[in-house]
Amino acid sequence: MPLRTIILDLQSALYAKAIRRLLAQELDDCRVTVSKTPSETAAQSRLLRPDTLLLEVTDFAPWTLDERLALCAQVKKDAPGCKTALIADDAAPHELTERIKKAKQRGDIDAFLFTSATEEYLVAMVDSL
């Protein structure tokens, strides 16, 4: 069975590396890549054609919801089967969390979660995509 490719694009390199280690430890059928910038994510997506893309959303560039949704749309052009998930801080403004929820309802993304999610939930959510 081929390895699934997962790209992580998170603001914190430390957090991204921790998630990469967690997913690699818990999911034996995946290859996890950490991107440092949104432009790197786009380039990696063209090259790797990921199965899953996990993006952090914040209130400031280049991690705003509009920028992330545009990146999701671009990645899906290059990798039509790619599942996209957004992760936001629990303390994010209510307006942002509502917009993320609406993006899921519209089908712009496949899933979302908050940073307070347990490790088990994060792994299960990514594995289910």
Average pLDDT, the chain: 95
Total number of domains constituting the chain: 1
CATH number where 15 lies: 3.40.50.2300
Within its chain, how far is the Cα of 73 from the centroid?
Answer: 13
Closest-CA residue to 14 (of 30, 41, 34): 34
Burial state string for 16-29 with b = 16 or more CB within 10 A and e = fewer than 16: beebbebbeeebee
Task: Average the pLDDT over 90-99 and give the result.
Answer: 94
Summarize pLDDT for 7-61 with one digit per residue, the tens.
999 999 999 999 999 999 999 999 999 999 999 999 999 999 999 999 999 998 9
Question: Whole domain around residue 84: which residue ranges?
Answer: 4-128
